[in-house]
């Protein structure tokens, strides 16, 4: 029972913060409440809420670090208003391992805002996390739909899809996608500098690999 009490207190605190200091609208509050309900269902299914709590070894034990998506979305995607709150809440769910709750939250938000490309990119990333950092057909479809609702020339879907490919281990696909994206961007685009940095890392990795191979092939002294 203590586990459920703690969960209920945290849920009330989160909803209180969203309702008062952030003054979130009723519809957004309903989405957040739905996400918390999903998290509670997952807790009941996968956890042991009836067991007594055990002392934690450290305050942040069990929390994940922010994903590349969480870091980069603050740089390029909307982090204000309802969209920003939904994406930020999803990031918080990811940090606590509740990837399904993040996906459910963003799926419900998309039902209200089907043309919001930022929400669709966040949803694709959430599905990617649910799939254990694998690009499944569902993840690929979510990125495709984000690309379809994006404005012409919007680099966001391809940019963040490249991160998913990189994290899944398909380095070649990520580099190919980012090189094509870089070539398509106008010279004044703010996306060019970060892309150039990413592409330079691929070049450095290849140069280092070639140097190691050359050293291995050289005769010993």
pLDDT score recorded for residue 4: 44
| Cβ–Cβ < 8 Å for 129, 102 | yes
Long-range CB contacts (< 8 A, 24+ apart) of 8-14?
Answer: 11/36, 11/40
pLDDT score recorded for residue 220: 57
Return the DSSP state at 59: T
pLDDT over 70, % of the chain: 70
**Least confident range of 88-102, 145-159, 161-175, 204-218:** 204-218
Per-residue pLDDT tens over the stretch 46-75: 444 444 444 444 444 567 777 788 888 988
> For residues 80 and 96, what is the distance between their CA atoms, to the nearest angstrom?
22
pLDDT value at 6 more than 50? no
pLDDT score recorded for residue 27: 52
pLDDT score recorded for residue 22: 41
Per-residue pLDDT tens over the stretch 120-170: 999 999 999 999 999 999 999 999 999 999 999 999 999 999 999 999 999
For range 114-125, the mean pLDDT: 97
| Cβ–Cβ < 8 Å for 47, 58 | no
164 contacts: CB under 8 Å, gap ≥ 6: 69, 124, 125, 128, 135, 139, 143
pLDDT score recorded for residue 60: 46
For range 29-55, the mean pLDDT: 47
Q: Report the first-to-last Cα separation within the chain, whole angstroms.
A: 70
> For residues 4 and 43, what is the distance between their CA atoms, to the nearest angstrom?
9
Which has the higher per-residue pLDDT, 109 or 10? 109
- Listing DSSP states for 133-144 in one string gives S---HHHHHHHH
**Assigned token pair, 155:** 């680099």
pLDDT over 90, % of the chain: 53
Among candidate residues 97, 69, 95, the one with its CA nearest the CA of residue 162: 69
Q: Where are the domains of the chain?
A: 1-52, 63-206
> For residues 50 and 53, what is the distance between their CA atoms, to the nearest angstrom?
9
Find out if CATH 1.25.40.10 is the number for domain 63-206: yes
* Residue 185's pLDDT band (cuts 50, 70, 90): very high
> For residues 82 and 22, what is the distance between their CA atoms, to the nearest angstrom?
10
Q: How many CB atoms lie within 10 A of CB 145?
A: 18
> For residues 100 and 205, what is the distance between their CA atoms, to the nearest angstrom?
34
């Amino acid at each position: 029972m203590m586990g459920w009490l703690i969960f209920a207190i945290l849920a009330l605190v989160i909803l209180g913060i969203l309702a008062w200091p952030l003054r979130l609208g009723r519809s957004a509050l309903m989405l957040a409440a739905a996400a918390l309900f999903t998290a509670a269902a997952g807790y009941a299914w996968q956890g042991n809420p009836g067991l007594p709590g055990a002392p934690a070894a450290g305050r942040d034990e069990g929390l994940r670090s922010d994903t590349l998506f969480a870091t980069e979305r603050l740089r390029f995607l909307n982090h204000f208003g309802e969209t920003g709150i939904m994406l930020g809440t999803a990031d918080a769910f990811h940090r606590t391992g509740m990837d399904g709750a993040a996906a459910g939250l963003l799926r419900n938000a998309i039902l209200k805002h089907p043309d919001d490309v930022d929400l669709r990119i966040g949803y694709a990333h959430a599905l990617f996390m649910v799939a254990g950092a694998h690009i499944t057909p569902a993840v690929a479809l979510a990125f495709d739909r984000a690309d379809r609702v994006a404005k012409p020339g919007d680099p966001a879907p391809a940019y963040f899809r490249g991160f998913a490919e990189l994290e899944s281990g398909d380095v070649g696909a990520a580099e190919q996608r980012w090189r094509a994206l870089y070539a398509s961007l106008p010279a004044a685009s703010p996306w060019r500098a970060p892309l150039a940095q990413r592409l330079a890392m691929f070049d450095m990795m290849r140069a280092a690999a070639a140097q190691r191979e050359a050293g291995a092939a050289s005769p010993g002294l």
